[in-house]
Amino acid sequence: MRRSTMPLELVARAESNRERLAIVDPEESATYADLLERSAAIAAGLLEGRSTLDGSRVAYLVGPGNEYIAVLWGIWRAGGVAVPMALSHPVPELTRLIADAEPGGLIADDAYAEKLGAAAPAGAEVLLARNLRSTAPVALPDPAGDDPALMVYTSGTTGRPKGVVTSHAQVRAQWEALEAAWGWHPDDRLLHVLPLHHVHGLQVALGCALYAGASCEFIGPFDARAVWERLSHGDCSVFMAVPTIYRRLVSAWEAEPDAHSRWGSGLGGIRLMTSGSAALPVDLLERWEAITGTRLLERYGMTEIGMALSNPLDGERRPGTVGRPLPGVEVRLVDERGQDCAAGVQGELLVRGNQVFADYWQRSEETQAAFRDGWFVTGDEAVLEDGYYRMVGRTSVDIIKTGGYKVSALEIEEVLRQHPNVDEVAVVGVPDTQWGERVCAAVEVGVADRESFDAESLREWARGQLAPYKVPKEISRVDELPRNAMGKVTKPDVRKLVEDTQ
């Protein structure tokens, strides 16, 4: 028997907030009533007379704003699995993801229809969001809690990105943990600046705001001055970003002393500013506090688990740490033998709880390998100090975090190897003040091509194949990559070599 846990509690809550403002976007704002009406019409349009999409995946490429949410909710309300695609991805990368996801439907807004069409398999139709309207009301299905809701692609250590499938109950558990911990309230207004194809922008920011009945405002692609101007109005209460964005906001502040009194005047309305997706350097936390009077709340999470650890809303936010487990989350630190670590001893972080994902799409072996005795193995290293967790690194050198995006060195290598002049390549992350880590590559090219090798034209080629944040910022040509006795490329040596040549 299907277990009903009212996964679309989101819809029930929206019903009770009908008149409240849900979305503010540069085109058109929407109340919860508007979102309910639009999403029901989209669901009906997707169903085309069927009773449910029954877990079929629907990939969508839609810019931030109220149409995005209507599409997301419409997919859920039709019983489908929402698969957000990245606006910044070039066609070849979208093509690879769509081929992997095998979606039963594709939706785009007017601005992105051509791009999605170019990435779609031959004969597949791209539905235009604005055309998905049904005039006649239809009965919508009631997905069970265990039914899949969301599939977000994230780079794993195993080359190509994997689809992380999360059920309705897990998605809801992720919102509820943060609602309880961070005091989300219908009177909140979130200023939203993050991409919507990853959990930070989608689940932690947008999802929680709407679950709580709050308002979420989009102001276009991230622009530091525009954010300061918007914050200066004093009516935004919550802001969430990655450290690179805070670094940029600090730079914009420092570059414009004449704007300080105006920009600073609206900060009194802010009750919460959070940082995550990458380590927040203590100097940045301190600089931010000196400018704004607000101490950033740093938290830790991952696509597969939602948010796991957080500094407190009230109480001490300790610089350089990610706090304690969120409500409903259990964590452990284990050594290489799988034994629990004592306080003060670094180990790998394992996580368990209702918000942990269901599986990697069509990768049962990788799903199995990701869990140990029911605990999800994060690949992140941490240490517990005086009751607070501090992140200390990752178990794999092939996972890089750049500007808050997780990228797989192996995936980038696989793509660069397809260039005709590249014989072999090694990709590494190099510490960087702006990006946290910067993606760099060392390439071996054939003897005949060495003289004519041009790193910039290789980067240009890579831009056509890979998401912009995966394109190496620097590419160094080497005669031979460093290898160990077994012939395996040694990444720490590559990193040193790349740093030395810059």
- Quote the CA–CA distance of 283 and 499 in Å, as a whole number: 23
User: Which residue from 498, 485, 476, 496 is spatially nearest to 416, judged by alpha carbons?
Assistant: 476
User: Which residue from 103, 474, 92, 233 is spatially nearest to 84, judged by alpha carbons?
Assistant: 103
Complex with ligand AMP: residue 184 or 376, whichever CB lies closer: 376
Q: Give the shortest CB-164-to-ligand AMP separation in angstroms.
A: 8
Which of the ranges 52-60, 256-264, 296-304, 365-373 carries the binding residues for ligand MLC, by CB under 6 A?
A: 296-304
Does position 194 interact with ligand MLC (CB under 6 A)? The reply is yes
Count of positions on this chain that bind ligand MLC (CB under 6 A): 24
- Quote the CA–CA distance of 458 and 421 in Å, as a whole number: 9
Cβ atoms within 10 Å, residue 432: 15
**Partner from ligand AMP, ligand MLC, none binding residue 380, C-beta < 5-8 Å depending on class:** ligand AMP
Pick the binder of ligand AMP from 170, 244, 303, 402 (CB under 6 A). 303
Longest dimension (CA), the chain: 70
Does position 405 interact with ligand MLC (CB under 6 A)? The reply is yes
Does position 245 interact with ligand MLC (CB under 6 A)? The reply is yes
Pick the binder of ligand AMP from 189, 197, 230, 394 (CB under 6 A). 394
Q: Give the shortest CB-42-to-ligand MLC separation in angstroms.
A: 25
Binding map of ligand AMP across residues 404-423, x = CB under 6 A, - = no contact: --x-----------------
- Quote the CA–CA distance of 202 and 208 in Å, as a whole number: 9
- Quote the CA–CA distance of 139 and 141 in Å, as a whole number: 7
Does position 163 interact with ligand MLC (CB under 6 A)? The reply is no
Edge-to-edge strands, sheet with 215-218: 30-31, 21-24, 215-218, 189-192, 238-241, 272-275, 297-302, 306-310, 324-325
| Dihedral of alpha carbons 245, 438, 154, 346, sign | negative
Does position 277 interact with ligand MLC (CB under 6 A)? The reply is yes
Complex with ligand MLC: residue 129 or 205, whichever CB lies closer: 205
Does position 155 interact with ligand MLC (CB under 6 A)? The reply is no
- The single-letter DSSP state of residue 51 is S
Does position 71 interact with ligand MLC (CB under 6 A)? The reply is no
Q: Could you tell me if 8 and 77 are in contact, meaning their C-beta atoms sit under 8 angstroms apart?
A: yes
Does position 277 interact with ligand AMP (CB under 6 A)? The reply is yes
| Dihedral of alpha carbons 188, 192, 194, 199, sign | positive
Pick the binder of ligand MLC from 468, 488, 492, 502 (CB under 6 A). 468
Which of the ranges 168-176, 270-278, 284-292, 459-467 carries the binding residues for ligand AMP, by CB under 6 A?
A: 270-278
Q: Could you tell me if 351 and 331 are in contact, meaning their C-beta atoms sit under 8 angstroms apart?
A: yes
- Quote the CA–CA distance of 214 and 32 in Å, as a whole number: 10
Pick the binder of ligand AMP from 109, 380, 413, 437 (CB under 6 A). 380
Which of the ranges 265-273, 276-284, 286-294, 414-422 carries the binding residues for ligand AMP, by CB under 6 A?
A: 276-284
- Report DSSP letters for 190-223, one per residue: EEE-S-SSSHIIIIIIIIHHHHTT-EEEE-SS--
Does position 206 interact with ligand AMP (CB under 6 A)? The reply is no
Does position 403 interact with ligand MLC (CB under 6 A)? The reply is yes
Does position 154 interact with ligand AMP (CB under 6 A)? The reply is yes
User: Which residue from 205, 203, 208, 201 is spatially nearest to 186, judged by alpha carbons?
Assistant: 208
Which of the ranges 141-149, 169-177, 239-247, 483-491 carries the binding residues for ligand MLC, by CB under 6 A?
A: 239-247
Q: How many helices (H) and strands (E) does the chain have?
A: 16, 26
Positions in the binding site for ligand AMP (CB under 6 A): 154, 198-199, 276-279, 298, 300-303, 322, 378, 380, 391, 394, 401, 406
Positions in the binding site for ligand MLC (CB under 6 A): 194-195, 198-201, 222, 242, 244-245, 276-277, 301-303, 402-406, 435, 468-469, 471
